[in-house]
Amino acid sequence: MHDHGSGGDAHDHAAGANAKMLGIALALTATYLVAEVIGAFVFNSLALLSDAAHMLTDVSALVIALLAIRIGQRAADDQRTFGYKRFEILAAAFNALLLFAVAIYVLVEAIQRFSEPEAVQSTGMMIVAAIGLVVNLISMHILSAGKEVSLNVKGAYLEVWADLIGSVGVIIGALAIRFTGWTWVDPLVAVLIGLWVLPRTWVLLRDTINVLLEGVPRGLKLPELRMAIGGVPGVAGVHDLHVWSTTMEDVSCTAHVTLTKGADADRVRKAIAGTLDERFGIEHTTIQTETPDEVCGDDEYLHS
């Protein structure tokens, strides 16, 4: 039995909403990126350049995310029987790797700047960073609604969040340089931005790898699923239980269930599908029922 309810319509609606969020954030971010790059060179600020580098990854992430949503909405075909939804996960993984590369580049440049300090125009640096702070706050507010249901939106949100912290750091650095003349504060801020971004980037990469490896989705525990299925009347045992996700919000489950003597197979399958949907939010279920003589493997949970 395969039960998928109205998951397709819900996903399409969510994808459309996410695309709108990403589009608005992209317009804001791309506009500010141009201003920040110009400001970084005009005011000779590595901290601004570091922030601009992360802003560039934001723009790339948002463009890729939008493409991922468009491609992900394509219908399944004879070559891609699950459709193209997982392109979103590939895009999120690419974004994480891109962030790692940029962070490493900035760290290397900062080390060089420590050994060879350069003059920085703190006033212009602070004005550009303040504008960036406002842009990031607006973008974060726009993206916050979709970050818990889409890895792509989450990736973009994390990058904007990192840029917001970067803008705050640049403002503080600019104030320090203005009142103390310590130009080494500029590369220090750049290093701190990089160190702030890396752990959060690892979380995103970890989540995307888990999806690509078809691991159990975050928040679900296989023993609890076994217990829930085993507790359905008519179930004698459960084996070959698999849970995975195509995207962050599209969870699927398959299982072989051994029936008790006299149990109605259709009724048991419907009860299991209902339990998984209500308790765990799993709408896509494929349940194969068997009599004890037909069991193809050892039961992982025996119902007493």
Question: For each of the chain's 304 residues, which pLDDT tens digit applies?
Answer: 544 444 455 445 455 666 777 788 888 888 888 888 888 888 877 777 777 776 776 787 777 777 767 776 677 777 776 777 777 788 778 878 877 887 787 788 788 778 776 677 788 888 888 888 888 888 888 888 776 666 667 777 777 777 787 788 888 888 988 888 888 888 888 788 777 777 877 887 888 888 888 888 888 898 999 999 989 999 988 988 999 888 766 788 999 999 988 888 899 999 999 999 999 988 889 899 888 766 555 554 444 3
Domain boundary residue, one of 148, 177, 212: 212
User: What pLDDT score was predicted for residue 272?
Assistant: 93
User: What pLDDT score was predicted for residue 271?
Assistant: 93
Task: Provide the CATH number for the domain around residue 253.
Answer: 3.30.70.1350
Task: Provide the CATH number for the domain around residue 116.
Answer: 1.20.1510.10
Both 226 and 184 in a single domain?
A: no
Residue 59 belongs to a domain: yes
Nearest to 245 by CA among 146, 144, 150: 150
Domain boundary residue, one of 163, 181, 212: 212
Residue 25 belongs to a domain: yes
User: What pLDDT score was predicted for residue 100?
Assistant: 82
Both 236 and 206 in a single domain?
A: no
Both 101 and 43 in a single domain?
A: yes
Both 139 and 168 in a single domain?
A: yes
User: What pLDDT score was predicted for residue 303?
Assistant: 41
Both 52 and 179 in a single domain?
A: yes
Residue 279 belongs to a domain: yes
Domain boundary residue, one of 212, 234, 262: 212
Q: What total number of domains does the chain contain?
A: 2
SS3 category, 2: strand
**In whole angstroms, how far apart are CA 164 and each of 36, 121, 193, 209, 247?**
13, 21, 10, 26, 27
Both 184 and 49 in a single domain?
A: yes
Phi/psi region, residue 239 (left: phi>0; alpha: psi -120 to 50; beta: rest), is beta
Residue 217 belongs to a domain: no
Both 157 and 128 in a single domain?
A: yes
Residue 115 belongs to a domain: yes
Residue 280 belongs to a domain: yes
Both 108 and 160 in a single domain?
A: yes
Both 280 and 137 in a single domain?
A: no
Q: Which residues contact 288 (CB under 8 A, 6 or more apart)?
A: 254, 255, 256, 257
Both 116 and 12 in a single domain?
A: yes
Both 110 and 156 in a single domain?
A: yes
Both 174 and 243 in a single domain?
A: no
Residue 185 belongs to a domain: yes
Q: How many residues does the chain have?
A: 304
Residue 83 belongs to a domain: yes
pTM for this model (two decimals): 0.65
Domain of 246, in residue numbers: 222-302
Q: What is the dihedral of CA 15, 63, 53, 212, to 10 degrees?
A: 60
User: What pLDDT score was predicted for residue 233?
Assistant: 92
| Biggest CA-to-CA distance, the chain | 85
User: What pLDDT score was predicted for residue 58?
Assistant: 73
